[in-house]
Amino acid sequence: MEALKKSSNFTGPAGPVVLAILDGVGIGKYEDGDIVRKANTPTLDWLSANSLTSSLKAHGTAVGMPSDDDMGNSEIGHNAIGCGRVFAQGASLVNDAIEKRTLFDGAVWQELIENVNTNDSRLHFIGLFSNGNVHSHIDHLEAMLTDAENQGVEKACVHILLDGRDVPPTSALEYVNRLENFLAALKEDSDIDFAIASGGGRMKITMDRYQANWKMVELGWQTHVLGQGRTFESANEAIGVLRQENQKVIDQDLPPFVISRSGQPLGPITENDSVIFFNFRGDRAIEMSMAFEDDNFDKFPRGPRLNVQYAGMMQYDGDALIPKKYLVDPPGIDRTMGEYLVKSGIKQLAISETQKFGHVTYFFNGNRSGKFDESLENYIEVPSDIVPYEERPWMKAAEITDELVDAIQGGEYQFIRLNYANGDMVGHTGVPEAVEIAVETVDLCLARLLEAVDKVNGILIVTADHGNSDDMFQRNKKSGEVALDEQTGKPKPKTAHSLNPVPVYIFDPTGTVKMSLSDHPDLGISSIAATCLKLLGFEPPRDYTPSIVELS
């Protein structure tokens, strides 16, 4: 890999190029429910009037998803921004592997099946239980259950992590009823014992990320593996009772439950079982994978490592090799912007709080852990608070900004990238009042950032990886009308990412850089990389998505 070619007409600004990614801040289609539009955002308003401004696609095929009905997410968004190209992503790869049967013909799937058939043991599936297509898809689960039945598996257990985040907040029973009907149909022609064995909300158990809250994973281990916890006769009963006890709770926050049969847990994970974590997205599957695979695991009292065959849908960390076995190969992302800049001698800073730290590092670098060059890169993680985000919507934006202002004024870095997580993480709570504070917090911090860049004659690029806070109400898909709660008469909250485009603002405080918007139509967020490289004084690689700007 060679260094980048220097631009013939621009050598870069005096100060750094700063890329600010406002997570979950899109351009809303409707006024009602668009909290970004409702919030007091004088800095974004000023940038809209005083900078080079455009919009970018951040979902569907523009970021490697199967269709434009699929929302984007932070992981594939940072992949696209960081590598400057569009790669087929998780859902697309799994769909293809199922359609072409490479998943089922592969050595890992065959090994898992042979293990349970030989030992008369159970096949277990753990994963996010919805059709949100961000972490997982119920279609993939059903396809694997079908093939398992065809290959003679007699006992299978499904451990469901309720969503309510990438799908409507209280839609869990739709998926439970769908799976129960699906399993009943499978059983009509064979003598199998396939059933839901345990579950709980995705923000309560199992699906922690970035080692922020190992208690979640421990509770998941107790629920799925040990079969310990509050018991119910069915998932349908569990969800109904738990909702009745706390009528404000949404699916992602439902407590864990264990399904019992004759007074005993239906499906604890025991020796010689096979286990599949069927999430294709990695960030929230890594820690449970570690608990299954690490001989020296010490994050909670797990006990000796179980002798089970364990695999992920994909490999969630290619550098740490977590998990060791996986069903579908991840996209081979190479030649990222960060690596090119290192080869070209550019000093870089990446910073965010814990919840998005991996996004500006691991995902931005093409699903690669660690640095390309210790001497040319600095990564700063600001520890996130372990608290419901609706209770602290400002999160760590101010602390991130403190670090940024010092870094910009210090003059050490030529390229700085950051993520403000508020618009996404608070957006997922479905609490509009908190989301409004979150957006205004980011805007306030952005004002400080703008001032710092101005003082050193840098260039500021502001964009987002996907929308969320811009679309906070559920709607009728045909009419677009807001869906109202029958009891309260208020709009039903929407907690998922939006399908809206995201803004991009490019501000040169000196006014000396002769920039204009490119004439390339329908650009997506993958064009950010070429844009950054141009503004740093380099010619982008030929196969990168074209830049948003032209320089003259």
**pLDDT tens per residue, range 243-262:** 999 999 999 999 999 999 99
The Cα-based distances of 64 to 91, 131, 226, 229 in angstroms read: 9, 17, 38, 40
Query: Poorest-confidence range of 71-75, 363-367, 382-386?
Result: 71-75
Q: What is the pLDDT of residue 65?
A: 84
pLDDT in tens, 95-147: 999 999 999 999 999 999 999 999 999 999 999 999 999 899 999 999 999 99
Q: Which residues pair with 162 in a beta bridge?
A: 129, 201
CB 434 within 8 A of CB 390: yes
The helix-helix angle for 397-410 and 432-455 (nearest 10°) equals 10
Q: What global pTM score does this model have? A: 0.79
pLDDT range class, residue 190, cuts 50, 70, 90: confident
Predicted local confidence at residue 270, as pLDDT: 97
How far is residue 239's CA from residue 246's CA, in Å, rounded to a whole number?
A: 11
What pLDDT does 319 receive? Answer: 59
Report d(CA 468, CA 393) in Å as an integer.
Answer: 14
Backbone torsions φ then ψ of 40, nearest 5 degrees: -80, 105
**DSSP one-letter code for 296:** T
Q: Which domains does the chain have, with CATH numbers?
A: 26-88+332-551 (3.40.720.10), 91-328 (3.40.1450.10)
Q: What percent of the chain has pLDDT over 90?
A: 85
- Distance between CA 276 and CA 309 in Å, rounded? 9
Helix, strand, coil percent content, the chain, rounded in steps of 5: 35, 20, 45
Q: Which two tokens stand for residue 289?
A: 């994978």
Contact 18, 459 (CB under 8 A): yes
pLDDT at 113: 98
E strand or H helix at 113, and its extent? helix 107-119
Distance CA 535, CA 516 (A): 12
Contact (Cβ atoms closer than 8 angstroms) between residue 464 and residue 23:
yes
* 173 strand-pairing partners: none
Closest among 149, 425, 155, 409 to 272, alpha carbons compared: 155
> Tokens representing 485?
């709660």
Q: Quick one: how far is CA 482 from the chain centroid?
A: 26
Q: How many CA atoms lie within 13 A of 302 on its CB side?
A: 26
Helix (H/G/I), strand (E/B), else coil: 511: coil
What are the residue ranges of helices labelled H in 372-481?
A: 397-410, 422-425, 432-455
How many whole angstroms separate alpha carbon 335 and alpha carbon 341? 10
Helix axes 527-535, 74-83, angle to 10 degrees: 40
Q: Six-digit token pair at 41? A: 């955002």
- Write phi, then psi, for 311 (nearest 5 degrees): -150, 150
pLDDT tens per residue across span 288-340: 999 999 999 999 999 899 999 999 999 887 657 889 999 998 788 999 999 99
Can 518 be counted among the known catalytic residues?
A: no
Task: Estimate the crossing angle of helix 42-50 against helix 432-455, to 10 degrees.
Answer: 50
483-534 pLDDT per residue, tens: 998 888 999 999 889 999 999 999 999 888 889 999 998 899 999 999 999 9
Mean per-residue pLDDT, 202-206: 97
| Strand partners for 275 | 124, 310
Q: 7, 54, 55, 74: which is the annotated catalytic residue?
A: 74
How far, in Å, CA of 56 to CA of 163, rounded?
Answer: 28
